[in-house]
Amino acid sequence: MTDIIVIGGGIAGLSLAARLSTDATVTVLEAEDALGYHASGRSAALIEPNYGAPSVQVLNRASVGFLSDGGYLTPRGLMIVAQPHQRADFERDIASLGTDPITLNEAVNMVPILNRDALGFAAYHSDAQDIDTDRLLQDFARVLRKNGGTIETGCRADHIRFDHGHWRVACGARDFSAPTVVNAAGAWADHVADMAGVTPLGVVPHRRSMARIPAPGGHNLRDWPMFFGVNESWYAKPDAGCLLVSPADEDPVAPHDAWAEDLTLAQGLALYQEVVTEPVTRLQSSWAGLRSFAPDRTLVLGRDPAQPTFVWCAGQGGYGIQTSPAASQMLADLMQGRTPDIAADMVRALSPARFA
C-alpha cells in the first residue's frame, strides 16, 4: 500500500508526485510505456507569462523563478505579425500579451523570411523563453524516486473503487491501494473520474497539430523568436535547427493517441506562407498532441468537493509545462494542509469546487 496514488505520468502528475514525496509515499501509474508520452512530450516548450486566463498567468509568473534557477530556460522572445486588414485583431493581441509594437524593418531584421510587402504590423517582447521539457520531466521523476516514490509504466487503470476508506486501482493483474488518489490523467481525466464514481467536470481534449520543416532558406534560426499570426491562427518556432509550424488548431476530440491531419496542416501552413518569402517545399515530420481544457479553460487543482480523497490535477490545456512548478507546489500544499503562496482568490479560481 502507498499513501497517494497519482494516475498519469505526464508533467502534471510527475511534478505533483515529486512535491508530495517529501512527506508521503507516492506511486505514479502511467498507462503508456514511457513518461510524458502524450501532451507533455508534444509541447511547444515555451513559457510566456502573459499567456492564458488570469489564474494561469499567476501560475506562469510563480513558476519562472523555479525554471530559471534550475537552468531549464533559454531566451527566445515572441513576435506577433499581422496583415494590413488585421489591425483590430492585432491591437487586441498586443494588449493581451503585453507586446510592444515594432517597425516592419525591425521585424524583418529578427526574422529575415518575413514578407514586408504582405505585413502591416508587428510587435515583440523578450519575456518568452524556451523550456527544456524533457529534463524538467526527468528531474521531477528523479526527485520522486529519490524520496522513495515509485513509477509504474505500462499500467493503465481499468478499474477504480473506493472501499473502506481506501482507493483500489486495478491495472490489469496489478492492484494498488491508497487513502488518496490524484487524477492527473490529462485527456482521460473525465474518464478516470467516471471510473471512480466521481462526477466528471467536462474536461475535453483538443487536438493541436505540428509540422517540422527544414530551416527556411537555409537560415540559422538560433536567435529567431517564436512568431504568431493574429488570433493565434498559426505559429512558428525554431527547434533544433528546423522550424516548427502549427495551425494552432483546437479541435475537440475523444481521448486517443493523436496524429496530425493533412488538411489541418495544409491550412495552417497556407496562413504561415501568406506572410513569408520562403515557400514550404517539404515536411520533415508532423505530429499532434491533446490539450485538455475544463469548461472555463483554466486548470482544475484541488480536492473534489463531493469526494475529498479524490484530487483533481487536470485541465492543463496548453499551460501544463509552464505552470507545473507553481501548480504542483500549490496543490501539494493544499493536500498536506499548508497555506499555498498563491493568493487565496486564485486558489479558489483553480478549485474543482467552482463547478459545484
Please give the pLDDT value at position 39.
62
Nearest to 206 by CA among 271, 148, 252, 263: 252
- Residues with Cβ within 8 Å of 182's Cβ and at least 6 positions away in sequence, in order, are 4, 5, 6, 7, 8, 13, 16, 17, 311, 312, 313
Local confidence pLDDT in tens for the 356 residues of the chain: 899 999 999 999 999 999 999 999 999 999 999 988 766 666 778 998 998 899 999 999 999 999 999 999 999 999 999 999 999 999 999 999 999 999 999 999 999 999 999 999 999 999 999 999 999 999 999 999 999 999 999 999 999 999 999 999 999 999 999 999 999 999 999 999 999 999 999 999 999 999 999 999 999 999 999 999 999 999 999 999 999 999 999 999 999 999 999 999 999 999 999 999 999 999 999 999 999 999 999 999 999 999 999 999 999 998 999 999 999 999 999 999 999 999 999 999 999 999 98
Q: Which amino acid is at 286?
A: S
- Residue tagged 489541418 (cell numbers): 264
Instruction: Give pTM, 2 decimals.
Output: 0.95
Distance CA 80, CA 232 (A): 9
Q: Which CATH superfamily groups domain 4-45+132-203+295-355?
A: FAD/NAD(P)-binding domain (3.50.50.60)
Our measurement of the distance from residue 92's CA atom to the centroid of its chain's CA atoms, rounded to an integer in Å, reads: 23
Distance CA 332, CA 345 (A): 17
Residues of the chain with CATH 3.50.50.60: 4-45+132-203+295-355
Distance CA 135, CA 331 (A): 22
Distance CA 314, CA 307 (A): 16
Classify burial at 218, counting beta carbons within 10 Å of its beta carbon; exposed 0-12, middle 13-18, buried 19 or more.
exposed
- For the chain, the residue count is 356
Longest dimension (CA), the chain: 70
Q: Are 55 and 346 in contact, with CB atoms under 8 Å apart? A: yes
Please give the pLDDT value at position 36.
84
Q: Under CATH, what is the fold of the domain 78-125+206-289?
A: D-Amino Acid Oxidase; Chain A, domain 2 (3.30.9)
User: HSE-up of 266 (CA within 13 Å, CB side)?
Assistant: 3
Please give the pLDDT value at position 236.
97
Nine-digit cell at 178?
Answer: 491508497
Classify burial at 112, counting beta carbons within 10 Å of its beta carbon; exposed 0-12, middle 13-18, buried 19 or more.
middle
Query: CA distances (Å), 285 to each of 210, 256, 258, 260, in order?
Result: 8, 20, 14, 10
Residues of the chain with CATH 3.30.9.10: 78-125+206-289
Strand partners, 119: none
Nine-digit cell at 354?
Answer: 467552482
Please give the pLDDT value at position 1.
80
Q: Which amino acid is at 157?
A: A
Distance CA 122, CA 108 (A): 10
- Residues with Cβ within 8 Å of 15's Cβ and at least 6 positions away in sequence, in order, are 140, 324, 325, 327, 328
Please give the pLDDT value at position 66.
98
Our measurement of the distance from residue 291's CA atom to the centroid of its chain's CA atoms, rounded to an integer in Å, reads: 7
Distance CA 109, CA 97 (A): 22
Q: In 21-122, which residue ranges form alpha helices assigned H by DSSP?
A: 54-69, 87-97, 104-110
